[in-house]
Amino acid sequence: MSTASRLPGIVTTDHVFQLPLDHAAPQGEQIDVYAREVVASGREKDDLPWLLFLQGGPGGKAGRPLGRDGWLERALDDYRVLLLDQRGTGRSTPANRQSLARRGGAREQADYLAHFRADSIVRDAELIRRRLIGDRRWSVLGQSFGGFCTLTYLSIAPEGLYEAFITGGLSGLRSSADDVYRAAYPRVVRKNEEHYARYPQDVEAVRRIAAHLVGSPATLPDGGLLTVEAFQSLGLMLGAGSGSGTLHYLLEEAWVEGVAGPELSDTFLAGAQAKLSFAEGPLYAVLHESIYGQRSVDPAGTTWAAERVRKEFPAFDARTALESGAPVLFTGEMIYPWMFDTDPTLRPIKEAADLLAARTDWADLYDPARLAANEVPVVAAVYHDDMYVDTADSLETARAVRGLRTWVTNEWEHDGLRVSGGKVLDRLISMVRGEV
């Protein structure tokens, strides 16, 4: 039964759909997939076109609106929006250390998690579309990984789409996981250089913390371990518009004078934990490299590509940087196997993650021939030096999708959709309508 709620400027309605875990076996095990319908107050009965929102991730639940704010402000002028909690996230049937323990051993857990990639998400969306609006098409807005899912949608079920908007999510159609990280590490170096140019005092601040952690890893409030590598992974923030400033302010409060002298403050450790813990989104860690897995591209599997490729970029070795006097570099959007040792919420599913990293039978996610013949209007915001998604890959993909129009901008970072107050979405809507 659907439940409606009223918030400032909006009316939301809850929907829960029972869908197959494995779409190749539709009569088999079923899971719940939750979606929240959002419409502008006073327009509940209007016959509005639907806009499906696919969240970034993988493993990210849709945002929880508190009113008509952010990109919803613009979207609700024209659309009835459906915020999908992609399978395994939010109010959908959860996939985490607690629920996965009920599946059995690591092999059973890994086999279950293999059904949580973009192809399954798209097939979920198609079943939901038919149940909500029948044969009518809907529009889709894909942010980051949601853009990857949109390309999969255009590959396997374009008949369900009226138009598609993509923000920071044009993935390389034929890029292996190794290719992704070989392109990513140099971008992350540039983001480090920009951060240290903005806050030159952080060079020594980071070196001091790193030197301390090399000799004495810290225990986080949740029992996790802050090693020097975990500290470096705070660089994930550097790809967001306000990330550099947020990181700087965290570093400012790193130390407190304790009984035995300076020690890392509770404020800093709690702030680091908030950025590093996967408690709210374990699928992000478990499935991250699998989003690049395609058997025709990665026949040997992804095999912890970020960790392997990191060795090709010795500038990211904190110990070497400390010895040579160089700045310690933060890393970016990389998942490393040691995270399944340092994070208490990931430790119980470490073996399953290893099995997924070794998996070699990932289905291809994109159909280049079908994309080359695309007839769905598609527009995409490509951020000029996006730390998370390679701009060169994005532009190559744009050329490979028939009719796709791009807007390349350096006004916004990867989080432009969220922080622009609807400006990014407004530009894309104008583009798809031929107004700009």
Distance in angstroms (rounded) separating the CA atoms of residues 154 and 159: 8
Question: Six-digit token pair at 344?
Answer: 């208490």
DSSP 287-340: HTGGGG--TTT-TT---SHHHHHHTT-GGG-HHHHHHHTPPPPP--S---TTHH
CB 394 within 8 A of CB 220: no
- What kind and span of H or E run contains 393? helix 391-400
115 flagged as catalytic: no
CB 414 within 8 A of CB 239: yes
- Integer CA distances (angstroms), 7 to 10, 78, 127, in order: 5, 19, 28
For helices 145-156 and 118-133, angle between their N-to-C axes, nearest 10 degrees: 70
CB 95 within 8 A of CB 283: yes
75 phi/psi in degrees, rounded to 5 = -60, -40
Bridge partners of residue 143, in order along the sequence? 167
360 phi/psi in degrees, rounded to 5 = -120, 0
Distance in angstroms (rounded) separating the CA atoms of residues 40 and 79: 9
361 flagged as catalytic: yes
Distance in angstroms (rounded) separating the CA atoms of residues 349 and 338: 12
- Integer CA distances (angstroms), 193 to 190, 227, 244, in order: 5, 22, 11
Candidate list 92, 120, 139, 144, residue with the active-site label: 144
414 flagged as catalytic: yes
Where in the sequence numbering do the catalytic residues fall?
144, 361, 414
